[in-house]
Amino acid sequence: MRIAIFSAKNYERTLLDELNATHHHDIVYFETLLEPDTASLSAGFPAVSVFVNDIVDGDVLGQLAAGGTKLVATRSTGFNHIDLEAAKKLGVTVVRVANYSPNSVAEFAVGLILVLNRKIHRAYNRTREGNFELDGLMGFDLVGRTVAVIGTGKIGTIFARIMAGFGCKVIGFDKYRSPEFERIGGRYVEAEEIEDADIISLHCPLTPETYHIVSARTLNRLKRGALLINTSRGGLVDTEAAIEALKSGQLGGMAIDVYEQEAGLFFKDLSSTVIPDDVIQRLVSFPNVIVTGHQAFFTREALGTILETTLASVSDFAEGRPLTNEITM
């Protein structure tokens, strides 16, 4: 089957070409994002593969369907960038990567905590300039601290297990309870108890219900000096409110691998340009903020599973087999 791969990166092309040896699809790579102005490139492709910052709204889906596209395969677990209702009306099937390597994201979140808390990023920059002073680099022991896990699915539960290994008290907030989370010592709480946490880590999907789950009201109720970690979706955090909380000292630090307006920034080299996004410019100016470019998933194991699952879904669709990773309303 012919597949148009949008937002294709070199590291994906190499691996996809290797994996495709067993699937035999006709793959065409497009480095550009899928959006209304580029959707015409998909004409004649029965299958289109997208990533998290591609725009797959009703307009784009209408163009895809008109061009003969029957399948959209997102190379991600989250699917908030796809209008499922429009896809259903147009008869376009949508599949995702339900499982890859939850360890990759969980481990990265832990890494962000260690770097942010112990100011490792600042120490690295200092010593490169010959400054070995310790002033301003003090952190706190993790043992005995309370860590709130917002979203206790596979990633959140693995993250909680690692933090429990540090000797942390782990509390969880999720509409669906995980027996595994409770087995490792996690305790489910109401929203009010999250206010007592020293660290809050987000591991839930972005839905209308979770949009700006971290708002000005949420931040004002947190323990003063708490750390906020987000490796899930940018829209979970009201970034402007977080900036105000950082300026006042209410928020002790923040590490984000995702950003609400990341589509025009992430996965691009903008080092030689003037970035017009004032919000991200303010964020990176804070000494107690770490911003990474949506790399939490980026391990050999995770990427290999993501791409193999995507190709396998296209093969199943082409052969009329059941789609285990289909997204339904």
Q: Which two tokens stand for residue 149?
A: 């896990």
Neighbours of 17 (CB within 10 A): 11
pLDDT of residue 328: 86
Identity of the amino acid at 187: R
pLDDT of residue 78: 86
Please report, in tens digits, the pLDDT of each residue of the chain (329 residues total): 999 999 999 999 999 999 999 999 999 999 999 999 999 999 999 999 999 999 999 999 999 999 999 999 999 988 989 999 999 999 999 999 988 889 999 999 999 999 999 999 999 999 999 999 999 999 999 999 999 999 999 999 999 999 999 999 999 999 999 999 999 999 999 988 999 999 999 999 999 999 999 999 999 999 999 999 999 999 999 999 999 999 999 999 999 999 999 988 999 999 999 999 999 999 999 999 999 999 999 999 999 999 999 999 999 999 999 999 999 87
Q: Which two tokens stand for residue 146?
A: 């309370």
pLDDT of residue 264: 86
Could you give all domains of the chain from N- to C-terminal order, each with its CATH number? 2-100+299-319 (3.40.50.720), 102-291 (3.40.50.720)
Contact 76, 97 (CB under 8 A): yes
Contact 136, 81 (CB under 8 A): no
Cβ-proximal residues to 145 (8 Å cutoff; 6+ apart), any chain: 168, 169, 198, 199
Task: Look at the pTM and tell me if it is higher than 0.75.
Answer: yes
Which strand (E) or helix (H) includes residue 149? strand 146-150
Q: How far apart are CA 88 and CA 142, in angstroms?
A: 47
Residue 223 CA from chain centroid, whole number: 25
pLDDT of residue 24: 97
pLDDT of residue 239: 97
Which among 75, 81, 145, 233 is annotated as catalytic?
Answer: 233
Which among 12, 260, 294, 308 is annotated as catalytic?
Answer: 294
pLDDT of residue 100: 84
Q: Tell me the chain's radius of gyration from C-alpha atoms.
A: 21
pLDDT of residue 276: 94
pLDDT of residue 279: 96
Which among 12, 260, 262, 308 is annotated as catalytic?
Answer: 262
Q: How far apart are CA 12 and CA 29, in angstroms?
A: 10
In the residue annotation, 294 being an active-site residue is answered as yes
In the residue annotation, 187 being an active-site residue is answered as no
In the residue annotation, 244 being an active-site residue is answered as no
| Residue 165 φ/ψ, nearest 5 degrees | -65, -25
